[in-house]
Amino acid sequence: MKTSFLIFLFFLGLTKSMFGQSQIEIEGKILDKETKEPRPFANIYNKSSKKGTISNTDGFFKILIKDVTDTIIISHIGYKQQNIEIKTDKKYYPIYLEESILLLSEITITPKDNSFLFEMIEKSKKSISNIERKSKAYYELKSFVDSSQIELVEGYYNVDVKGYRLMNLDMKAGRLALRSKRNRFFASLESSRALLMLNLFGRNDYFPMNPLEFSKSKLRKNYYLTLDSKYLNEVNDSIYIIDYKPKDSTGLFFDGKIWINKTKNHLIKITLNCDNTLKHPFLPLFTTDKISNVSFNITQTFNTTNGQVVFNHTDFIYKIDYKSRIGKTEEQNYTIQTKAVLYAYDYENYFILPFFDFKDFYIGDYRKINAMPYNDFFWTYNDEYRLNDSINSNELFFTDSTSLTNKTLFISNTISKNGLFEHPYISWSKNGIKIREILSDTSVANTSMEFNSEQYKLAVKIFFDINSYKDSIHFITSTIIDPYESYYHLPMDNQTLCFINIYFDICEIARRELEEKLKAGKNDIYRLKEIYINFLTQFEIKKNEYLKAVERGTNEKEMIKYNNIVYEKLGIDNIELFQPYNSEK
């Protein structure tokens, strides 16, 4: 199956002016000293607090400090490392980075004497580590049409890395927002997965070819290499910048530059560019729509940690010409530019992930964000790496009244009665559910159920997430129907609706009982985990007891018993609402 994008039409910043016990926030802009151009994705690290951030595409950054003695280090590949001298009454710091000591001016080497460049690339590939590492990572995606932002996806992940390559992304928290453009919405549903699909050292079915995937002989056959320049880094290692251009210009090959630490034979950076590529992972959602003129501008960088070279960051920029037609309306043309960044920033720690099993690997960013209750505590108090600007544009875009967010996209909203996306994860509410909402998607045909397993499955799960900030521990729970595991192939009537809603309500009662137990262990993360794991066993027993007792709603006596429990605990009378047995009288 071809994996594709489906494209569809508080910071904690204290305002104290003097240093004291509380942290304050400084900001600045990182520029090239000579050109005065902004330097995006530079690393800003507070060595004292062991916290950091990165500069945005305009070179802007914000970072928390506690004292004038904090050591703030600025680093960027190709530039001299620099420290910020913190001053008591100063909040804004323009930083001018100097290029590293240049050893060779820009020159061109003829094909006869450039063999060492091919050797250098070959040696750097041999430094690939097979050791798997885990890191925290920050992800941001923004899409634009005619310079107007139409999409925001922001999230934190644990990433699994093997050497230079990203192997897996596990979401900790995410949020998203969309705005319409000419009555159309566009959504990059699977964008983070594309980052996993890009393998620099192997065959890529959905991306152009690049020099690192070729043997030395095939590299000579397909590419021209020239030495752009070389310099010494902060520890006096020799860094060579190699310019590569494909001999085939049809859109099947990337061009760009490769930075190699020749002293250690490590790859440290690569750029990959291709205009009007013939290979890409994008597909339109509707068969009447078309995608054309796809262009890529991708940069990946790599760091050394514990003696191993590992993935550091990627900025993934692509442009698409999109032709949209809905029904008999006139075709509309859009040029959509998307800028995505994934930054791995802490190989010493990683997030405690939410307890929620996404059994289907192909569930994308939007679906996962939909499944997770919006966590105000995390987005308000987390002080992890993040792309920032002077006006907190992500927060403004997310909270703007014209944006549809993950709080509203999947439910009835001003645009769509049933939400913009089919088959959403459904969180419990007193409004109950309609059977249509959990029958439509049977993409995961899992039939492992004790009762009428070949006919139905009601996959209700209890979401659980733990977060901490300083001395505070916060948890969140939610009762959720998983549409990718749920199905119901039996007659749909009022009795069915009553049976399913009582089942959902029984699960919600169990969640509330769990929450009371969690409150008793709130100050101990390990105790919270233990309470939740013990709860799961009893939760399965309670669900199965209900299913067996009511016999899919046909046992009126048992249905009344469970309905009374729901009415007592939640104030909901499902039998009164659905009248499941009136037709028989």
**Residue whose entry in the numeric block shows the structure tokens 């910020």:** 84
Residue pair 259/241 in contact by the 8 Å Cβ criterion:
yes
pLDDT tens for the chain, 585 residues long, are 344 443 333 222 333 333 444 678 899 999 999 999 999 999 999 988 888 888 998 999 999 888 888 999 999 998 999 999 898 889 999 999 998 877 655 445 555 678 999 999 999 988 777 888 999 999 999 999 988 999 999 999 999 998 888 999 999 999 999 998 888 888 888 778 888 889 999 888 899 999 999 999 999 999 999 999 899 988 889 999 999 999 999 999 999 999 999 999 999 999 999 999 999 998 887 788 899 999 999 999 998 877 788 899 999 999 999 988 776 667 888 999 999 999 998 888 899 999 998 876 667 888 899 999 999 999 988 878 888 887 788 999 999 999 988 887 776 545 545 545 666 888 898 888 875 545 444 444 443 334 445 688 899 999 999 998 878 899 999 999 988 888 888 888 899 999 999 999 999 999 999 999 999 877 889 999 999 999 999 999 999 999 999 999 999 999 999 999 999 999 999 999 999 987 544
Taking each helix axis from N to C end, the angle separating 556-570 and 525-550, rounded to the nearest 10 degrees, works out to 150
Residue pair 96/31 in contact by the 8 Å Cβ criterion:
yes
Instruction: Take residue 406 and report the two structure tokens written for it.
Output: 């993950």
What is the fold of 5-9+11-99? Answer: Immunoglobulin-like (2.60.40)
Q: Using the Cα atoms of residue 35, residue 36, residue 37 and residue 41 in order, give the sign of their dihedral.
A: positive
Instruction: Take residue 524 and report the two structure tokens written for it.
Output: 């101990």
What letter represents residue 117's amino acid? Answer: L
Residue pair 129/307 in contact by the 8 Å Cβ criterion:
no
**Residue whose entry in the numeric block shows the structure tokens 């059994």:** 359
The segment(s) of the chain belonging to CATH 2.60.40.1120 are 5-9+11-99
| Nearest in space to 25 (alpha carbons), one of 44, 11, 39 | 11
Instruction: Take residue 222 and report the two structure tokens written for it.
Output: 């397909």
| Nearest in space to 338 (alpha carbons), one of 123, 150, 193, 208 | 150
Determine the pLDDT at residue 447: 38
- Give, in order, the Cα–Cα distances in Å from 353 to each of 158, 325, 420, 584: 8, 40, 27, 49
Other C-beta atoms closer than 10 Å to the C-beta of 221 total 10
DSSP per-residue letters across 15-45? --SS-SSS-EEEEEEEEETTT--B-TT-EEE
Spatial separation of the C-alpha atoms in residues 425 and 364, rounded to whole Å: 13
Angle 231-233-237 from CA coordinates, rounded to 5°: 85
Instruction: Take residue 510 and report the two structure tokens written for it.
Output: 């169990």
Beta bridge partners of 161: 133, 166
Determine the pLDDT at residue 175: 93
Angle 402-153-143 from CA coordinates, rounded to 5°: 70
Other C-beta atoms closer than 10 Å to the C-beta of 445 total 9
Determine the pLDDT at residue 129: 77
3-state secondary structure 183-204: CECCCECCHHHHHHHCCCCCCC
Instruction: Take residue 452 and report the two structure tokens written for it.
Output: 């009428």
Residue pair 476/468 in contact by the 8 Å Cβ criterion:
no
Spatial separation of the C-alpha atoms in residues 249 and 269, rounded to whole Å: 23
Spatial separation of the C-alpha atoms in residues 341 and 343, rounded to whole Å: 6
Spatial separation of the C-alpha atoms in residues 170 and 134, rounded to whole Å: 10
DSSP per-residue letters across 52-90? EEE--TTSEEEEEESSTT--EEEE-TTB--EEE---TT-
Coil, strand or helix at 547: helix
Other C-beta atoms closer than 10 Å to the C-beta of 377 total 17
Determine the pLDDT at residue 444: 41
Residue pair 485/442 in contact by the 8 Å Cβ criterion:
no
**Residue whose entry in the numeric block shows the structure tokens 């996959």:** 459
Coil, strand or helix at 305: strand
DSSP secondary structure code for residue 513 in this structure: H
Other C-beta atoms closer than 10 Å to the C-beta of 122 total 15
Which residues are CB-neighbours of 229 under 8 A, at least 6 positions away? 102, 103, 104, 105, 106, 241
